[in-house]
Amino acid sequence: MATQTQRILAMGGIQLVPDSTDWPMLQFMLDLTGRERPRICMLATASGENASGLANFYATFARRAEPTHLDLFGRKVGDIEGFLLEQDVILVGGGNTANMLAIWRIHGVDKALKSAWESGVVLAGWSAGANCWFESSVTDSFGLGLDPLKDGLRFLDGSFCPHYDSESLRRPRYEELVSGGRLPDGVAADDGVGVVYEGRGLAEVVASLPGQHAYRVQRRKGNSVEETQLRARLVR
C-alpha cells in the first residue's frame, strides 16, 4: 500500500510513448510513491480504451513499474475499489472528460478513486485525466468549442484548464469563463507541466521541459481576470 499522504499530479498534457521527452515528468510521478518499482494502473476511459494508447502505456512503463489497466468497456474486475487500492499510482489518460465521468459513475469508479486517494494512492493524469479531479474545468467534450464542465470529482477545489500553451483558444476561453463567473478561479497548465497537490493544497509545480509553467487564474472586479505565473521546477 502507498503512503498515507494524499497526492494528485494534474498535468496539462504529455506524450505517453516510450522515450518521450516527458519521461522526467513520468519518472517524477513514479517517485512520488517512494517505491522502486511501483504498481501503476491506467484508466483510459476518456479515449474509449484505445488499443494503441494502452499499448504505448505498457511499453512506456514495462521496465520501470508494474503496469496494469482497468477495462470498463469489457469489464472483468468485480471489486473495482479493491483493485484500485492495490495500486501505487492511478494514471488517467486524455479524451472526453464528460463521457469518462459518466461511465465512472455508472461503475462506481468515482467512489473507488476517492477511497484510493484517501488511502495514499497517487492519482495522476493529463488533459481529461487532470480535469476530472477538480470541481470544474474547461473541456471540448461537448463539441468543437470549449465549454465549462461543472461536475468533476471535486477532490480539488476550483477549476482547471489543460493545454494552456499548445491550443490557441484555451487561454482566451478559460479567461473568458473565469472572468464571467461561469467557472470558479482555478489553475491552468502548459503541456509538459504538472501541478502537485498534497491534500487539497497546491504544493509544487514541475515541468519536463524548460520555459513551461502553470498559472493561477482569478476573477477580479469588473469582470476582469488576473493571471499569475506559477514557476515550475524542471525535473530530470
Q: Which residues of 72-89 are buried (b: 16+ CB within 10 A; e: fewer)?
A: beeeeeeebbeebbebbb
Q: What is the Cα–Cα distance from 23 to 20, expressed in whole angstroms?
A: 5
Side chain identity at residue 35, one-letter code: R
Which of 127, 136, 137, 159 is catalytic? The answer is: 127
Establish whether 163 is a catalytic residue: yes
Judged on CB neighbours under 10 Å (0-12, 13-18, 19+), 3 is middle
Residue 159 annotated in active site = no
Q: Which of 69, 163, 208, 213 is catalytic?
A: 163
Report d(CA 172, CA 42) in Å as an integer: 31
Active site residues: 127, 163
